[in-house]
Structure 1
Amino acid sequence: MRPPPLWLPSLLLCGLGAAVSLPDPLSQLAAPLNPKLHLYNDEQILTWEPSPSSNDTRPVVYQVEYRYVDGTWRSLQCTDIAETKCDFTEGDPLKGPLSRLLSVFLRVQAKRGNRTSDWVNLDPFLHYENVTVGPPKNISVTPGKGSLIIHFSPPFNVGGGATFQYLVHYWEKTGTQQVKGPCKSNSIVLDDLKPFRIYCLQTEAQLILKNKNIRPGGLLSNVSCHETTADASTRLQQLILIPVSIFALLLVLTGACFILFLKYQSRVKYWFQAPPNIPEEIKEYLKDPDQFILEALDKDSSPKDDSWDSVSIISSPEKDRGCVPNTMN
């Protein structure tokens, strides 16, 4: 039997080395799924779904990186985190907050031990261009003389290159909606309103960028309703109108009563005449019928009524005519 060639062991070793250097298909970890970016006011939050599970019981951690256009990838504060959310509202604490005027690129990767997944890249975003603007904060309404004064603060703080303007949507409780604004100040006065009326309103903030590009309107605040007060002239009119109205009402009532009295005069007299009264003597007689009524009347009559001073007899002139009085005995 012929011995094997000397070059065969070397060939076998080379083949073994090539086999050892082949990549392990299980070394590649599954990447995170469905990354989503949440931009509301100053909030910047990236969320994703976890990597598919496997037989490996070791925990999976994630890391997030960012970069600007033509920049290098840098780590955020979300490095080796177990949760599937990265809140970078305040940006990288070592490098400061992310710029809201420049386009930002993000990517996320899963890691388990020495195994890592592919990077999952998101589309670039510019915060001020993509953010959802909420309603103004700290809204307060002060009723005025036929007006409403609305005070508020911006939805979030903005740096150079951006500012806010505000609008107020208002309507009488049963009327049509109107809009006041836009105004750049943090207070708006709704004047020329009717006194003692209820008005409902909503406020809105709009973001204006450095290039004078106005973002679409933000979210409206909750509806609140308020009643206006009266101005000085209206109050004076009320002070005059109330007594005049009362006086006019009294005149109308008096006139109506007088007309009714004239129309039903006899009936009114009948209603208001005093009932017949029985004299006291008759009452006494009815109590004691045996007593003679004339004696009772004489007994109760006043002496002055039955007394006299003198009685004179006057003769008729016809009987004395033609007679001479006897002056002698």
Structure 2
Amino acid sequence: MRPPPLWLLSLLLGGLGAAAPPPAPLIPYSSQDPDSRLAAPQHLELLLYNDEQILSWAPSPPSNDTRPVVYQVEYRYTGSWTAFKGVNCTDITVTRCDFTGGGRLKGFPGLYSVLLRVRARQGERTSDWVTSTRFQRYCNVTVGPPKNISVTPGKGSLTLHFSPPFDVAREAGFEYRVRYWEKAGAQQVRGPFKKNSIVLDNLKPFRVYCLQTEAQLIVREKNICRPGLSLSNVSCHETAADASTSLQVILIPVGTFSLLLVLTGACFFLFLKYQSRVKYWFQAPPNIPEQIREYLKDPDQPILEALDKDSSPKDDAWDSVLIISSPEEEQDDLLQTL
């Protein structure tokens, strides 16, 4: 038997004088059971540094449920009717998603506006989606310094070779600047340069220069300019000699040696020409005898007696006498003897 319609029951109850109770409101299941809805992740942060594109967030607040909490990340390009799409960060337990780490999506294009959203899940319980702010990679990226920097010293110059901070599409490019200074000197800047090879010329030879490089992202059609927010590490290098300095390095010793030869020859010629005078100039001064020197010290001393005493022959002094006779004298002596 089918139940009577509601209007008939209302009419019957109204006729009996009893007011019909209002229909119960439709309350969602999540409001009826507070534990049925999981808390959403918090504090979404997007890191865009060179090639890196990493989304991170704070975990959901803990609950009495001991089951693990996993997260799901999706993205969508704004300005289109496409729905959110999943990435390689589905049912992950970590609180970060790296979009440059491989998978189906290897980084977002430079000029596309992108939205990201994250939600948590614990068993059958899910949280609300948390959506990040819209971003464009080229507009929001932090540009680092050039990579693989090498410096080659030259004749009064330094040549730099390096790689761009990251790869870009055709609509974008980089400009580079070099900050350099001589030790204990003022800093100078050269640039912008568009090539990956820079020559710093007109430098002093045999001097040590320190330098840093920076890169700037330029998007020509959109008038976008992202300056580099960090410089490369300081490196110092000594310049080599230029052509004039090399000639000076050769001529100075040769000239010095030639001058010494000329001076030596001139001195030898003068010595030969004025030899007697040179001997006269360099001869030793006459010496005063010791007796006279003592007399000058004490005039009262009998100098004559002292000289006579010194000049008298000593008792033990002997003179050697050699007698030489000829053969004729020996014959005369022999005849006289006979």
TM-score after normalising by structure 1: 0.71
d(CA) in 2 for partners of 1:159, 1:64: 26
CA 1:38/1:96 → structure 2, altered by over 3 Å: closer, same or farther?
closer
The aligned counterpart of 1:325 is none
Q: Does 1:33 align with 2:47?
A: no
Q: Distance in 2 between matches of 1:83 and 1:152?
A: 36
| Corresponding pairs, count | 264
Residue in 2 that maps onto 1:94: 104
- Name 1:228's counterpart in structure 2: 239
Q: After the TM superposition, which of the residue ranges 204-213 and 48-57 deviates more from structure 2? A: 204-213
The 2-side partners of 1:79 and 1:241 are apart by 76
Whether 2:54 is the aligned partner of 1:45: answer: yes
- For residue 197 of structure 1, what is the amino acid of its counterpart? R
**Alignment CA distance shift 1:229-1:130 (3 Å):** same
Cα pair 2:139 2:224 within 8 Å, conserved? no
Letter in 1 for 2:189: V
CA drift at 1:118: 1.1
1:152, 1:219 → 2: CA distance?
16
Choose which of 289, 299, 318 in structure 2 pairs with 1:292.
318
Q: 1:160 to 1:90 in 2, by over 3 A?
A: farther
* Structure 2 partner of 1:241: 252
The equivalences for 1:75-224 within 5 A come to 75-90=86-101, 93-94=103-104, 97-211=107-221, 212-224=223-235
Q: In the superposition, relative to structure 1, how do residues 67 and 269 fare at CA in structure 2: closer, same or farther (>3 Å)?
A: same
Structure 2: gaps (5+ residues)? 1-8, 10-22, 271-277, 288-313, 327-338
Larger CA deviation: 239-248 vs 67-76: 239-248
2:197 aligned partner, one-letter code: S
Post-superposition shift, 1:214?
Answer: 2.1
Report if the CA contact (8 A) 1:166-1:205 is conserved: yes
Matched, 1:270 2:280: no
| Alpha-carbon RMSD | 3.3
Alpha-carbon distance change, 267 to 55 in structure 1, aligned in 2, over 3 angstroms: farther
Cα deviations by residue, 1:16-71 (Å, 9 ceiling, x for unpaired): 99799674221110111211111110100011111111110000000111111133
CA distance in 1, matches of 2:59, 2:36: 18
**1:86 counterpart letter in structure 2:** C
Residue 236 of structure 1: how far off its partner (Å)? 1.3
SS of the residue aligned with 1:236?
A: helix
Describe the SS at the equivalent of 2:148. Answer: strand
Which amino acid is 1:56 matched to? D
Mapped to 1, the partners of 2:28 and 2:90 lie a distance apart of 32
CA separation of 1:249 and 1:169: change in aligned 2, threshold 3 A: farther
TM-score normalised by length of structure 2: 0.69
> Do 1:90 and 1:98's aligned partners in 2 also have CA atoms closer than 8 Å?
no
